[in-house]
Amino acid sequence: MKKILRIDLSNRQYGFEDITPVYAGLGGRGFTSKMVSEEVSPKADPLGMANKLVFAPGILAGTAAPNNGRLSVGAKSPLTGGIKEANAGGAAAQKIARLGIRGIVVEGGASSLTMVKVTKDGVEFIPADEFKGMGNYEIIDRIRAGHGDGVSVISIGPGGEKLVKAAGISVTSPDFKIRMAARGGLGAVMGSKNLKALIIDDAGMKGVEVADAAALKKAAADLTKGILSHPLTGGFRALGTPLLVNMINGSGCLPTRNYSMGQFEDAEKISGEFMAESQAARPNSQASHRCMKGCIVSCSNVYTDENGEEIVSGLEYETLGLVGANCLISDLDEIAVINRLCNDLGLDTMEVGTALAVAMEAGLIPWGDGKTARALIEEAWKGTEKSLMIANGCLATGKTLGVKRIPAVKGQSVAAYDPRVLKGTGVTYATSPMGADHTCGNALPSPANPDYNPTASTGQGPVSAFLQIFHAAIDSLGLCLFAAVPMLDMPDLMKHLIACAAAVTGEALDENYLVNLGISVLRTEKRFNEIAGFTASDDRLPEFFTKEPLLPSGLVYDVPDAELDAALPF
């Protein structure tokens, strides 16, 4: 029987609790959002002691199901002021699951910088004053040296310590690469609690118990086979998410020059195809990489410099789109170095990329000048005012510099898909309880659904709603997005996923399981935000998307407000 681990940092105490009926059947995002809505006032100060930071593996974590290791992190967000869940791959979720823990609730705040180690024997509080101001790369190395290769490290960099709103939480992969629960400023919540790192050590634990191992084995095999048969899986393995650069550029919706154009003339130079070719000539680079055990997609990469030294792992599409095209930076190495810097400081590259572009529009940095952009971010080690402005994200930067075109919804920056072309994605940006978040439901053209037109002005609400429900369920299972999206083209696979969940939990789950789960999660999140003060006017895209035609298509965002208001009718 799994337990909830509650850690009180103020009193350096902890305890294990049985799972009450309120949390039955919930994991990942479902668990974190329920816990935050039950125990944190929507009116609470996100950086105050009444906020709680919740970590939860998904329902499938640590089992034979494929790609099951996403770790959900939840709290009230200092960036959006609403409920937040950000998730990351890595090793931590599966280790937490193996420790028999359904979720970790971190409360209060320590009087000085602290690390917490969770093992089979309980919880240890470790003073961490010596790690003050330390970057994620060094702290991971130090913890690894002190606690061995069997641990996973969940940590914050100086960004989280300085309470900036673009601060993310780093989670290590089995080979100690950095993954990031990046969005929504959850690193600042961790920093506000003086929690520098959580060390998860599952030594001495066996595998995760499941209700019906034989049924799970079959369902997992069927699901795996289906995912592998989707052509995109091979594409992601060969080229990673950078594969998307040419695709999105070709679709005319690659954010360019602070969302003023939909195509970047140097897109090929930052594309997956180009990266694969140029990296193949460099020692120690890896075109594919797994961030979690049991991954069948391998979408990540290891990007190296000319001497074979690792710059970053992995270099992802969103970073290429927002730090690259959106800032007119076309030097892959420079983008990789900025990515590493963000990882080290513990910052969300998407929020930083959009903030840099806004700063370029204001004239603070020349367009396309990666070196000046990097130098500005580097100042965050010292905490200069301008660097902290960028580290507080796109909205804060735009407000400070007097820029009118700020691509953010509910305070969170839009992703690297322009909503004027992908209008269903625009509905997700506008209406998701998370703020503008493509991982909540990205509505893309699909050969399996030839009738769907992403550029149509109407009919986008139901498409976004279905995707938001589906992704809320996927995030609750702990399933990686890239194991999930093939199901959108091959709906038959969903029954295998439901069979996996049924075999793990021992519950009889019907075909409506995913939809019911997703709706219940979204309903919980919407209620929280309503009490926090969000209204329909917060479910809107920034005005410039509705007024400025995007070249080359000439499209504006024209999905009617009524359709946005009706998108999530629960």
Residues of this chain that bind another protein (CB under 8 A): 230-232, 234-236, 238-239, 241, 243-244, 246-247, 249-252, 262-263, 272-273, 299, 316-318, 415, 417, 421, 425, 438-439, 442, 444-447, 450, 453-455, 481-482, 485-486, 488-489, 551-553
Nearer to another protein, 455 or 457 (CB): 455
Q: Using CA atoms, how far apart are residues 354 and 394, in angstroms rounded to an integer? A: 5
| Selection from 377, 264, 364, 378 nearest residue 320 by Cα | 264
Nearer to another protein, 21 or 447 (CB): 447
Smallest distance, another protein to C-beta of residue 91, A: 20
| Three-state SS annotation for 462-506 | HHHHHHHHHHHHHHHHCCCHHHHCHHHHCCCHHHHHHHHHHHHHC
Beta strands (DSSP E) in 352-436 are: 408-409, 412-413
Q: Is 160 exposed, middle or buried (0-12, 13-18, 19+ CB in 10 A)?
A: buried
Smallest distance, another protein to C-beta of residue 477, A: 17
Query: Kind and range of the H or E element at 7?
Result: strand 3-8
Nearer to another protein, 230 or 540 (CB): 230
| Selection from 479, 469, 354, 508 nearest residue 418 by Cα | 354
Smallest distance, another protein to C-beta of residue 448, A: 8
Torsion of CA 430, 434, 436, 439, to 10 degrees: -110
Nearer to another protein, 69 or 103 (CB): 69
Compute the radius of gyration of the chain from its Cα atoms: 22
How many Cβ atoms are within 10 Å of 462's Cβ, its own excluded? Answer: 13
Smallest distance, another protein to C-beta of residue 80, A: 20
Smallest distance, another protein to C-beta of residue 449, A: 11
Strands 408-409 and 412-413: antiparallel
Nearer to another protein, 314 or 542 (CB): 314
Nearer to another protein, 204 or 250 (CB): 250
Smallest distance, another protein to C-beta of residue 544, A: 19
Beta strands (DSSP E) in 192-342 are: 195-201, 286-289, 300-304, 310-312
Smallest distance, another protein to C-beta of residue 489, A: 7
Nearer to another protein, 451 or 511 (CB): 451
Smallest distance, another protein to C-beta of residue 440, A: 11
- CA 519 to each of CA 3, 98, 131, 159, 423: distance values in angstroms, whole numbers, following the listed order: 25, 28, 42, 34, 22
Smallest distance, another protein to C-beta of residue 343, A: 17
Smallest distance, another protein to C-beta of residue 192, A: 30
| Measured distance between the N- and C-terminal CA atoms of the chain, rounded to whole angstroms | 32
> Sign (positive/negative) of CA torsion 419, 440, 311, 237?
negative
Please give the structure tokens belonging to residue 341.
């810097």
Tokens 């730090």 map to which residue? 323
Smallest distance, another protein to C-beta of residue 485, A: 4
Nearer to another protein, 109 or 168 (CB): 168
Nearer to another protein, 227 or 377 (CB): 227
Please give the structure tokens belonging to residue 174.
């089995």
Nearer to another protein, 148 or 234 (CB): 234
Tokens 């970053």 map to which residue? 312
Smallest distance, another protein to C-beta of residue 339, A: 15
How many Cβ atoms are within 10 Å of 94's Cβ, its own excluded? Answer: 29
Q: Which amino acid, 78?
A: P
Nearer to another protein, 66 or 262 (CB): 262
Nearer to another protein, 251 or 349 (CB): 251
As separate numbers, helices (DSSP H) first and strands (DSSP E) second, the chain gives 23, 17
Locate all alpha helices (DSSP H) within 415-459, ordered by sequence: 423-431
Q: Which residues are CB-contacts of 74 (< 8 A; sequence separation ≥ 6)?
A: 29, 31, 32, 33, 35, 36, 53, 54, 56, 83, 84, 85, 186
